[in-house]
Amino acid sequence: MSVIGGTLTAVLSLGYFHHVKLIMSSKTTLCAPTAPKKPHIHDVHDHQRSDDYFWLRDDTRGSPEVLEYLEQENAYTEQQMAPLATLQRDLYAEMVARQEPQLESVPYFKKGFWYLSRFEEDKDFPIFTRSPDSMAAPQELLLDCNDRASGQAYYQLGGLALSSDSMLMAYAEDIVGRRQYTLRIKNLSTGEDCVDVIEDVASVEWANDNQTLFYVKIHPETLLPYRVYRHTLGDLVANDVLVYEELDDTFYLSIYKTRSEQYLVIGIESTLTCESLVLAADSPTDNFVSFLPRQRAHEYSIEHFDGQFYVNSNKNAKNFALLTTTEPMNKDCTGWTTLIPERPDVLLESFELMQGWLMVEERQAGLPLLRQISLTTGESKTLTFNDPTYSVFSHHNPEPNSSKFRYQYTSFTTPSSVYELDLNTGETVLLKQSKVMGTFSSDDYQSERLWIAARDGEQVPVSLVYRKSLFNHHNPILIYAYGSYGHSMDIGFSSANLSLLDRGFVYAVAHVRGGEDLGRHWYEQGKLLNKKNTFNDFIDVSKALVEKGYGAKDKVFAMGGSAGGLLMGAIINQAPQLYKGVVAAVPFVDIVSTMLDESIPLTTGEYDEWGNPNAEQYYRYMLSYSPYDQVRVQDYPNMLVVTGLHDSQVQYWEPAKWVAKLRALKTDDNQLLLHTDMEAGHGGKSGRFKHLEDTAREFAFLLDLADGQRAQGMDSPK
C-alpha cells in the first residue's frame, strides 16, 4: 500500500494504537461493566416510568462515579477491540493515504481580494489567506487554525466574518466541543487581535460602518441562541446593547446580511414557524423591525437584491413558493408577486441571486435539481447529470454582480467537484475536483437507485454503491439512514467508504420518511404521530435489499447517528433478528426523558418535531417507540455505541443509560460496546485526520463481524 506522508501516518498510528497494544499485552481480562441500578421513578400522566440508570446523568461532567463508569466502558471496548488493532491501523493508514497531502480551496474574489483556504501536509486544520488584486500577489495570513489549536484537545472554528471594508475579521472558536464559541476580532491592517473578546456566541454579522457588529448570544443553561446584542469596537462587552431577546424558547436566533449588503436580518426559527427582523445595515443604532409577523405554521426566509426582497414561503404552498416585494415591513402577503409558484411534485429548497439570473435549488423524485432562471425573460434551464444518484448545490458565490455561478457536484462514484457556469453563454468549466490518492478509478464502482415498497405501499428511494468486481449477491451490506427534521440524505463521495467497498461491502442509504427527500409530505409522514413510519421504512428496506440480492441475510449491518441513532435504537427493539451488527453514533435514545426536560439544549425547540410529552397523547406515542424505554428481554445484534462527553445536542448519558439497560436485559452473547470520547462533543474529534480514528474503529467492528477473511482485503487496490 502506498502511503503519502508516511512518517506522519506512522506517528499518528503509533500514538493512536499504543493503548490498544498495551491492552493486548495485558493479562487482565475485563468483564463487561455492570452499572448499578438505583431506582428512580418518573411520574407523568399517572404513569410511573422506572429509570434505574438515571444516576448516570451529571450535568457538571465531573462526578467521579460517573466518569469511572464511562472509563470502565472505554477500557472494556478497547479490550474487546484489541484483536482488531492491526486492522484498525491498516484502515486508518489507508484512509489517510487517500487524502491529498496538501489541499487548497478554489480561490474566490471579493472586494479587491482573492481568498483561499488550504491544508498543509501533515496539518489537521485550515489556514486562511488572501491576496490583493491578483493570486500572484503575496499572500496575507488571516488565520492559521493549527496555531490556534495548538495545545488544545479539541478545536473548532465557528466561522469568519469580514467587515464591509474587509479590514476587520471576527472569528469564533470552540475548544470544548459544546458549540459555545468565543468571539474575537482581528485587525487585518496590523495583524493583531483587538481587545474585544465575547463569550458564548452563536453567530455574528457586521454593520456597514466597520465599527459595529451584532452577535447572537446563547443561553447559559439551555445553550439556545436567544439574544442579539450590538457591540461597538473597543467598547466594554458589559456595555453592549441588547437589541432583541426571544422570549419563546421554542425558537432559535441567527443573524446574517442580505445579498445586497443593505440589510441585516435576525432569523427567528422554530420547526414550523419563522419570522425575520430587518435593519438597514447603514443605520446600526436604529431598531430591527418585523419583515412579516410570525404566524403559526408559516415558514419563510428572505433575501434582498437589486431593490427587491425575495421570500421563500410555504404560505398556502406546502412545497414552498418564491415571491417578491419591495416593502421591508409587511402586515401580510397581500400584494406580493409570485415568481415561482408552488408545485406538488417539486420542493423549492433555496435560491441564490446573481446578475440578471436566479439560481434555484429544488428537489424532485428524491433528486436535487439546479435550475437557472433569467430575471429578464423568465427563461428557465435545468442542469442535468448522468449519475443515478448524486448531490448538486451552490458553491461559494460572494459576488452577486457576476454572471459566473459556481456549483458543487458529487456522487457515490464522483469526488467533490466545483464547476463554474457562465449563465449567459452556458459554458461550464471544471475548476477543481478532489483527488483520491492511490489507484482509485470511479469505473471500478457501480451506483444504483432503487424504489422499495414499504408495508403501507409508499415507495421508498434507496441509493447504493458497490465495487463491481466484488459484487456477488452475497455481500455484506451496510444500510445508513437519518430520517428526521426534514433533512434530506444527499449522496456524496466518501474516500473513507472505499475501505468497506474494497472489502466487498455494499453501502446503501435509505431515504426514509422523516426526511424531505420526496417533498414536504415525506417529512410530515415521518414526524410527530407518524414517526413510526421512519422505523418501518428502514426495516422494510433492509428486508427488501436482502430479497433483491444486494446483501447476504446473515451480513446485514445498520448505522445511524443522532436522530439516526434513535432510528437504530427503534429497529433493534422491533426487528433485532435482521441485523448482524449496528453502529449507533451519539444516539438520541432517551427521547421521553429529554423531551420532558426543558433545561436540556434543543428540547423546547423540537416539540413540533417529536411532540410535547406534557400532552398525554404524545407521551404515550413517544413512549411506545422510545429506544431506552422499549429495551426488553430478547436477543440483540452486535452493537458499537459511540458518544462524546461534552455533547450538547445529545447528552452523553442517553447512550450510557441505554447501553447499561441493554446489558442488563439482553439474552445473547453478542458484543455490546460503548465508547465515550472524553474530549469531544456531538461532532466527534476535531481536525482533518482525527475523525478517521473513529471511522477506523467503526469499520473494523463491521468488517470483523462480516467475515474475518474479508477484513484482510479482497481485490483491493494496493
pLDDT in tens, 55-105: 999 999 999 999 999 999 999 999 999 999 999 999 999 999 999 988 899
d(C-alpha 433, C-alpha 444), whole Å: 18
Would you say 116 and 705 are in contact if contact means Cβ atoms under 8 Å apart?
no
Q: What is the mean pLDDT of the chain?
A: 92
For the stretch 379-399, pLDDT in tens is 999 999 999 999 999 999 999
pLDDT at 34: 95
Query: Which homologous superfamily does the CATH classification assign to the domain defined by 1-38+47-97+582-590+627-712?
Result: Alpha/Beta hydrolase fold, catalytic domain (3.40.50.1820)
For residue 136, give the C-alpha cell.
500572484
Are 140 and 167 in contact by the 8 Å Cβ rule? The answer is no
Task: State residue 25's pLDDT score.
Answer: 41
Answer yes or no: are the C-beta atoms of 246 and 268 closer than 8 Å: yes
CA dist., res. 564 & res. 697, Å (int): 19
Closest CA to 57 of 45, 40, 44, 72: 40
User: In 10 A of CB 128, how many CB atoms?
Assistant: 20
Q: Report d(CA 186, CA 196) in Å as an integer.
A: 9
* pLDDT tens-digit readout, 694-716: 999 999 999 999 985 434 443 33
Give me the mean pLDDT over the 258-273 stretch.
96
Is the model's pLDDT at 27 over the cut of 90?
no
pLDDT per residue over 161-199, tens digit each?
Answer: 999 999 999 999 998 877 889 999 999 999 999 999 999
Nearest by Cα to 541 from 452, 469, 440: 452
pLDDT at 423 over 70: yes
Across 672-684, b (16+ Cβ under 10 Å) vs e yields: bbbbbbeebbbbb
Residue 628's SS3 state is coil
Residue 242 has pLDDT above 50, yes or no: yes
**Residue 24: what pLDDT?**
38
- Residue 484, pLDDT > 50, answer yes
CA dist., res. 546 & res. 67, Å (int): 41
Q: What is the pLDDT of residues 503-550, one digit of tens each?
A: 999 999 999 999 999 999 999 999 999 999 999 999 999 999 999 999
What's the one-letter identity of residue 334?
T
pLDDT at 458 (0 to 100): 98
Going by DSSP bridges, is the β-strand pair 113-119/127-132 parallel, antiparallel, or unpaired? antiparallel
User: What is the per-residue pLDDT for 504?
Assistant: 97
pLDDT interval class at 683 (50, 70, 90):
low
Instruction: Please tell me which residue, 239 or 6, carries the higher pLDDT value.
Output: 239
Integer Cα distance of 243 and 523 in angstroms = 35
Contact between 195 and 184 under an 8 Å Cβ cutoff? The reply is no
| Cell numbers for 240 | 453592549
Nine cell digits for residue 280: 438597514
The whole-model pTM stands at: 0.91
Catalytic residues: 562, 647, 682
* pLDDT above 90 coverage of the chain, percent: 85
Picking from 12-26, 199-213, 335-349, 467-481, which range would have the lowest pLDDT averaged per residue?
Answer: 12-26
Percent of the chain with pLDDT over 70: 94
- Mean pLDDT score, 618-623: 98
Distance from C-alpha of 528 to C-alpha of 518, rounded to nearest angstrom: 18
Average pLDDT over residues 367-376: 96
**If pLDDT is split at 50, 70 and 90, which confidence band does 647 have?**
confident
pLDDT of residue 334: 86
| Range 668-677 average pLDDT | 97
